Amino acid sequence: MAREFVTEPTRRYPAWEVRVAVTAEKQIGQLHHNLTAERANRCE
């Protein structure tokens, strides 16, 4: 599952879209981390 990470504005991706995408990636990563931690705690 290869995904294209956009970290700087280009003609196709305006700066505000890049900021929104980066913020979303961070939030998704945090949610995934929380879920993984919860699952690990439940299994112990």
Question: Is 8 among the domain residues?
Answer: no
Amino acid at 33: H
Full domain range(s) for residue 21: 16-43
Whether the full predicted model's pTM is greater than 0.75, yes or no, is no
Q: What pLDDT, on a 0 to 100 scale, did the predictor assign at position 1?
A: 46
Please state the domain count of the chain.
Answer: 1
Question: Is 6 among the domain residues?
Answer: no
pLDDT in tens, 9-44: 667 777 888 888 889 999 999 998 999 988 888 776
Q: What pLDDT, on a 0 to 100 scale, did the predictor assign at position 5?
A: 62
